[in-house]
Structure 1
């Protein structure tokens, strides 16, 4: 494969958080898609990285150790911060992720309690089984809702029960975008704001640059071509790197994407390496 043809998917989830595939299966899917590199960016956990790195050694797919930290700006603006080439054994990072994992578990318990009170007989033990020991997320609850026939699909379960204004909505534990970026950078990683067109808060991006933002994700399944072009120009004007990826969860959902659905040139990986001092 010529260098100019090499592609990378820099936003993928495994069953260490709310994806359907194991880290090994994700790497196998990347190899089948002829990708040169992928980033494992699970929500608030690094538990899948070592397995993915081992699979990468077996297949020749380069695995970028990463993360996606869920942050809240102000009262309710959800901001997802991607970290690339982090040291996933860095203790202060692991300590904070432990806090976030506990908060996700407690949120999951409260969601189930509220659903039960609303007459939706979701069982917590089943939600935990679906999480397979990883961080508990709303997609696990949604899958349990579908299993009992209370919704026809994961998307329907979210719309009926898990978004703001519905019986199962519970606010998440709050960490600020600036705090998330500090964790990423202190662990040796590159801080990137995820799906910026979906966020649609350009003034916030400018503020985040002052706090240490180094890249933005301009290529994403939810971004139109026009949006990607706009944010590519936005990044160039402000000296930011541009990343992209499928945000693959590989779920049985109308909106779920697969590994390799959105990619960027491999040179982006090289740029991230330089920024991370690798």
Structure 2
């Protein structure tokens, strides 16, 4: 089986609708795919229906945005959790609200120097989608300020930019506990992606493991090889699952479906551990 456990639709910052992501996955020769939109499960229904039609195994998921006490961004993939779990829902709602106010403040700063408005950004957001910096990037592309999302993130929207505004996000260990409480399977997404910014030290890994972390996303284009070596050692020492994924965003990123994959054995273990919602089989 060819299994990709990290994709995004236009419910968050991907460019394709959830059903279209499933169609792209089928066209790429995948057998199983997870939809892991940022802080949202709104695409699950459409994706599951499309996956059944296409003969794909669908893994319901979500990517939870977190932040350490010293300001390092951490993303935790949650597989098979209960989407109605009150504790996780409340935390996600808090993060989503903070994203909106943060985006508004960033646009206010950008508007002082570039031809961009809040209305321009809203035009880039699908109904009900989790708003974020990628939508601001899309508005900057539409205005002709930058040629692509990647260019926007490399310059104007980097975390070191004067336009950047931080937003609330839960502590990663707390997020892991909430995911477990909701019957989900927490996996640390692209943990050594140093090109994206600062990465956590071993203490944060240990705190997340103590809280119930189930796995590490090791095979990911943003983890450098020395980081992958470190992660493989950590996974072996703590009996963590090892996953590989594309982090597909449609045309929003160069990542290609299936460029990294997860073993069928690991997917079956995730299916066994997840008690909040089931894997959708064809």
Alignment of 1:96-115 (within 5 A): 96-115=91-110
Query: Alpha-carbon deviation of 1:201?
Result: 2.6
Residue 90 (structure 1) aligned with residue 85 (structure 2): yes
8 A Cα contact 1:36 1:61, kept in partner: yes
Gaps of 5+ in 2: 194-198
CA–CA distance in structure 1, aligned partners of residues 29 and 88 of structure 2: 32
Which of 224-233 and 75-84 deviates more? Answer: 224-233
Name the CA distance, whole Å, in 2 between partners of 1:230 and 1:173. 29
Q: Distance in 1 between matches of 2:151 and 2:178?
A: 35
1:218 is displaced (CA, Å) by: 0.9
Q: Secondary structure at 1:88's aligned position in 2?
A: coil
1:196-235 map, 5 Å: 196-198=191-193, 199=199, 201-225=201-225, 227-235=227-235
1:13 is aligned to 2:11: no
RMSD between aligned alpha carbons? 1.7
Q: Name the counterpart of 1:32.
A: 27
Aligned residue for 1:191, secondary structure, equals strand
Secondary structure, counterpart of 2:178 in structure 1: helix
Greater RCO structure (CA 8 Å; 6+ sep): 2
In the alignment of these two chains, the number of paired residues is 270
- Aligned partner of residue 131 in structure 1, secondary structure: coil
Partner of 1:249: 249
Task: Give the 5 Å matches for 1:179-190.
Answer: 179-190=174-185
For 1:16 and 1:164, the matched residues in 2 are separated by 23
Matched, 1:65 2:60: yes
Please state how far the C-alpha of 1:156 moved relative to its aligned partner.
2.0
| Cα drift, residue 228 of structure 1 | 3.1
Choose 9-18 or 192-201, whichever is displaced more. Answer: 192-201
Q: Is the 8 A contact 1:36 1:266 kept in 2?
A: no
8 Å Cα contact 1:72/1:79 also seen in 2 = yes
Q: Where does residue 3 of structure 1 map in the other structure?
A: none
Distance in 2 (CA, whole Å) between partners of 1:128 and 1:179 is 31
Matches of 1:224 and 1:99, distance apart in 2: 32
Equivalent in the alignment of 1:50: 45
Aligned mate of 2:121, from 105, 120, 127: 127
State the TM-score, normalizing by the size of structure 1. 0.91
CA distance in 1, matches of 2:85, 2:46: 17
Matched, 1:81 2:76: yes
SS in 2 for 1:197: coil
How big is each residue's C-alpha offset from its partner over 1:61-85, in whole Å with a ceiling of 9 and x where there is no partner?
1111111111111121111111111
Q: Is the 8 A contact 1:85 1:188 kept in 2?
A: yes
Q: Distance in 2 between matches of 1:93 and 1:210?
A: 19
Q: Deviations over 1:203-226 (max 9, x none)?
A: 321221112211111111112455
Comparing 80-89 and 192-201, the one that deviates more = 192-201
Matched residue SS, 1:264? coil
Q: What is the alpha-carbon distance in structure 2 between the residues aligned to residue 94 and residue 51 of structure 1? A: 20
Q: How does 1:160-175 map to 2 (within 5 A)?
A: 160-175=155-170
TM value normalised by structure 2 = 0.90
In 2: Cα distance, 1:100 partner to 1:89 partner: 16
